Structure 1
Amino acid sequence: MTQSSGRPQAPIRAVIYTRISQDRTGAGLGVERQRQDCQALASRRGWDVVETYSDNDVSAYSGKPRKDYQRMLADLEEGAATVVIVWHTDRLHRSPTELERYIDLCERRGVSTHTVQAGELDLANPSGRMTARILGAVARQESEHKGHRISRARMQRAKAGQWGGGIRPFGWGVPTGEMKTKVDRKTGEESEVPVLDMSKAVPEEAAAIETGHDILLSGGSLKAWVRWLADKGITSSRGNPIRHMDARDYLLRARNAGIAVYKGEEIGRGSWEPLVSEEKHRAVVAILKDPSRRTTPGPQPRWFGSLIYRCGRPGCTAYVYVTQSGGLKHPSYRCQTAHGGGRNAAVLDRYVQDLIIERLSREDAQDLLAPGPEGVDVAALQLESEQIRRRLTDVAAAFGAGQISMPEFTEASTVARTQLEGVNKQLARAATEDPLVPLIGAPDVRQAWKDLGLDRQRAVLKTLLNVVIKPARTGRMPDGSYFDYDSIETHWLR
């Protein structure tokens, strides 16, 4: 191109910007097609493209940072180009705030915008700015409608028990016999994988989830369930050993109780069969989320009566623990205050356990069971829980629509959540199991006792018996042993 004087005219410097909201394959084909069309426009107009900016798989509407867009704005501020080429205006903006900043920059730096699909946007005059704003408003409306449709579809899928994507949830996903093509986003390679029905439970994993609930509800610990899973050879859905935090997440999942969840909020009953009852689920959640529960308890006790038995020395009621220091021949119970000698831990534990097993083997052992919680109407509590959750959803919707203020929203949601916490505690009372239940009526109480595991055995001890260790006599006892059983004082709690 030449000026009327015949002297050569400097080529117009232009930049290209491309963006695609979603790139499922990761191959970048969408942005490459945009770049080719923009380059063709530049060639027809005789513009010199000095830089190409591309944000792949980034939505303008989502609010996520667009690194190359920000880099382009910085370069335009420095005078890198006077023309921006895009495939369509909606590739640049779907936010009015972003558009106004872009208009301001273009006015100050003399930058014009050209599109492959919608022609030139002259932001230097009111008509061009009005056109840009209208196009931006239309694009934003389209995004909002699309987002609403996607949200409704995802909520519907959540209600049907379909998984929203990601790693298969432990306990769920039975092969349907069909196959689908999966594309690796990093390499673009395709592979055939089985289609899973996420509303169907995996039998072994479902049984493990139920066992986890029973362990916690009968006084056991999360660590005990993790050990149980390892002993059974049960791994995560990816084939890895199940860690403490994984196990906690599995048991907190509302899906186990047939409750549908969308965006972290419960949205009602799902259309699949639950693995556990809702009252069991609520009870386990209450246990795991109890603020008084220590999440980092340190080393777990390795002895049956450690820090449960008490010292019976006059004037002392401290707990005893097991040690082998101070020249003791065997691991022995010693008072926390460090006075007095030790008591052979293995012998004492065996003696106390034999007492418990003998008592639970009697015909009247049924009388030891604690009565169920009185006045707990589980059905009514579950209905109240659903009503409170619905109220929380309604309050959030009212705030989003501008019908209530932030203080009103905060107050209403705080009250509702406090009420919900109370309902969940009542449900927990209804579902918590007496630790004696697995032992009462068992054909072989001793074997049932061994099957419990240490932490559940300790829960039975705390429920059933107080053990006080008094100062022992020295020398050989009348039965020929050197262990003074008469100095072990026991008090039945039931």
Structure 2
Amino acid sequence: MKSTQTGGARTRAVIYCRISQDRTGAGLGIDRQREDCEALAARMGWDVVETYIDNDISAYSGKKRPGYRQMLADLDEGRATVVVVWHTDRLTRSIVELEEYIDLSERRGISTHTVQAGTVDLATPSGRMTARILGAVARQESEHKGHRVARARRQKAIAGEWVGGIRPFGWGMPTGRLAKKVDRKTGEEVEEPELDMMKAVPEEAEALRYWTDTMLSGGSIKSLVKWCADKGVTTTRGNPVTHTDMRDMLLRPRNAGIAVYRGEEVGRGKWEPIVDEAKYRAVVAILKDPARRTTPGATPKWLGSLLYRCGRGGCPHFVYVTQSGGRRYPSYRCQSAHGGGRRAEIVDQYVEDTIIERVSRPDAHELLLPAPDGVDVAALQAEAEEVRQRMRNLAGMYGAGQIDEVQFAEGTDTARAQLEGITQQLARAATRDPLVDLVRAKDPRKAWKALSLDRKRTVLRALVEVTLKTPRTGRMPDGGYFDYDAVVFRWKRG
């Protein structure tokens, strides 16, 4: 609003409006503040040269307020001599910011007028004292509000209730009803399907269970990301699943029915878990293992690449696949680049046939690793919860000044070491033998073909060591030229 009145010089004023939390996105609180401030300016006969707005930004949180910072810059350049706000707490709730504003007001002769609290005279010691008292009161109100909100959210998390945010993969079953909400971009009211965040989405829950079992059977995140791309599975926002997305989804405690507040486990949720807790803990142990290789480079395209050993003259190196050196087909060749190569597709097919034949025998069950003895999963879970509670107690004692920083650090380190040991035991109990699907299958060959290359390589690592020795030359007894006897198997099981 700008005045068109002619005559003597008019006082130039600016309006500042802020709302800390606009739940609807419609900016209704801002509009009401602006209308009241414009009415005050009109009554006083001031020219409003600019209106600055910060919507959905708290003055207490410390977040940058672009409208406020621009206003200070313009006032410092002499654009206006009056600031109009709805209330002093709209201006600032930070003692540091208040002192900055007082200093600017003194230097540039700025007067501040509020709709609710009258004039704030920063030119006098008593006026500045009043402003500082109002600022301290406003900050105390903000701190109390923040404490109440944090406490309410923690209570919700402990009770296992949904505390809001982006819909997590696996949860949010449509109720069949529509819920009204305001679009943040347009400000228009729209209707969207209402979701029950305590109920699992069947197809997403099945995917989570499959991913968990795959990881426990020796699979990789990279293979699961490819699986999602092949199946058309996306994140809850409709984006392609990335390596980071997959890891985050597997590490989410909610999968196992565990409630979390600010990254800390606070108890059991009220929802039914999708994944067994022992399996979840095992996946966490696998993904957070410091020895786990997280930058594997290019994805292998052949079964034995860097898994088969070179057997030429006792060479200790592994072989890889190359088509260099004038070869007409991919061949396994030693990393040290000595001696010819073996045709990759023939070697892989022979190794696959040999593995399938072995897991098809009547005694194939003897290949499976024995189940871990004496692992009481329930007792381990209870012990883990006791350790976590001890860590929470230590944090409370440190915050209350009952223990010093050294005691807190030592106690926390001990508890974390204990928790790591428990997690490893749970992982041992839940980790799945990669041979299980093959040994128990009615048709092992069909089961083998259904495995991804990544899981086939895991079976190979677990079951047998293959060495490619120097082949004989000429025609072999079977009439061909491939020396199968030069492919040597050393079984690790059975």
Q: Note whether the superposition's TM-score is higher than 0.5.
A: yes
Please say if 1:131 is aligned against 2:130.
yes
Contact 2:160 2:268 in 1 (8 A): no
Please say if 1:261 is aligned against 2:279.
no
Deviations 1:343-371 (A, max 9, x none): 22222222222222222222222222112
Query: 1:407 offset after TM fit, Å?
Result: 5.6
Contact 1:16 1:84 in 2 (8 A): yes
* Aligned twin of 1:297: 296
Partners of 1:203 and 1:462 lie apart in 2 by 34
Query: 1:408 offset after TM fit, Å?
Result: 5.4
Contact 1:159 1:271 in 2 (8 A): no
* Aligned twin of 2:227: 228
Question: How high is the TM-score relative to the length of structure 1?
Answer: 0.90
Contact 1:161 1:199 in 2 (8 A): no
Change (3 A) 1:65 1:408: farther
> How many residues are paired up?
487
Partners of 1:71 and 1:395 lie apart in 2 by 45
Query: 1:164 offset after TM fit, Å?
Result: 4.3
* Amino acid paired to 1:44: R
Partners of 1:145 and 1:20 lie apart in 2 by 18
* Aligned twin of 2:474: 475
Deviates more, 1:110-119 or 1:326-335: 326-335
Q: Percent identity?
A: 68
Query: 1:9 offset after TM fit, Å?
Result: 7.2
Query: 1:473 offset after TM fit, Å?
Result: 0.9
Superposition pairs for residues 72-471 of structure 1, below 5 Å?
A: 72-159=71-158, 163-400=162-399, 409-471=408-470
Query: 1:173 offset after TM fit, Å?
Result: 0.9
Partners of 2:319 and 2:115 lie apart in 1 by 82
Change (3 A) 1:445 1:157: same
* Amino acid paired to 2:188: E
Query: 1:410 offset after TM fit, Å?
Result: 4.8
Partners of 1:144 and 1:86 lie apart in 2 by 22
Deviates more, 1:448-457 or 1:270-279: 448-457
* Amino acid paired to 1:278: E
Question: How high is the TM-score relative to the length of structure 2?
Answer: 0.90
Query: 1:464 offset after TM fit, Å?
Result: 1.2
Deviates more, 1:382-391 or 1:407-416: 407-416
* Aligned twin of 1:13: 12
Query: 1:156 offset after TM fit, Å?
Result: 4.0
Partners of 1:324 and 1:105 lie apart in 2 by 74
* Amino acid paired to 1:334: R
Contact 2:26 2:182 in 1 (8 A): no
Partners of 1:41 and 1:125 lie apart in 2 by 23
How large is the RMSD of aligned CA atoms in angstroms? 2.5
Deviations 1:30-57 (A, max 9, x none): 2222122122222222333333222122
* Amino acid paired to 2:176: G
Partners of 2:38 and 2:477 lie apart in 1 by 103
* Amino acid paired to 2:342: R
3-state secondary structure, aligned to 2:235? coil
Partners of 2:204 and 2:144 lie apart in 1 by 40
Query: 1:411 offset after TM fit, Å?
Result: 4.9
* Amino acid paired to 2:115: V
- Show structure 2 runs of 5+ residues with no match: 1-6
- Show structure 1 runs of 5+ residues with no match: 1-7
* Aligned twin of 2:4: none
Partners of 2:254 and 2:77 lie apart in 1 by 54
Deviations 1:135-157 (A, max 9, x none): 22332232223223322333344
* Amino acid paired to 1:212: W
Deviations 1:394-424 (A, max 9, x none): 4444555566665655555444444433332
3-state secondary structure, aligned to 1:314? helix
Partners of 1:331 and 1:112 lie apart in 2 by 82
* Amino acid paired to 1:265: E
